[in-house]
Amino acid sequence: MNSALLKVAIAAALIALLWAFVGVERIVGDHETGVSWDLFIKKRPSLQLQFQNPAQNGLEIVPVRDFSQAEQSAFIDFCAIRFGISDAMQCRAVLVKRVV
């Protein structure tokens, strides 16, 4: 019985680690490619599993200056978790390169 309990505890710990350090980003493409999902290793742990780039509007990356304060905060959080970047302009540059 102890062995089964230990296996369950180990499995639960592994699932918690995966949940904290692995994420999935929803990427919107054009009408031919549709929506895709990109599995990634988070740069910092979080409880959120599913991510969507707050700066992406359709196929375009919205300029940072057009964000409200709340949108900018969400974008910086996304960038910190996804890319390990805390500067909004630097993160936007990475995203623009990724789209092209």
What pTM was estimated for this model as a whole? 0.81
Closest CA to 61 of 38, 88, 95, 33: 95
The answer to whether the beta carbons of residues 51 and 25 sit under 8 Å apart is yes
User: Would you place residue 7 in the very low, low, confident or very high pLDDT band (cuts 50, 70, 90)?
Assistant: very high
For residue 72, the one-letter residue type is Q
The Cα–Cα gap between 64 and 21 comes to: 27
User: Per residue in 17-71, pLDDT tens?
Assistant: 889 999 999 887 776 777 888 999 999 999 999 999 998 887 788 888 888 999 9
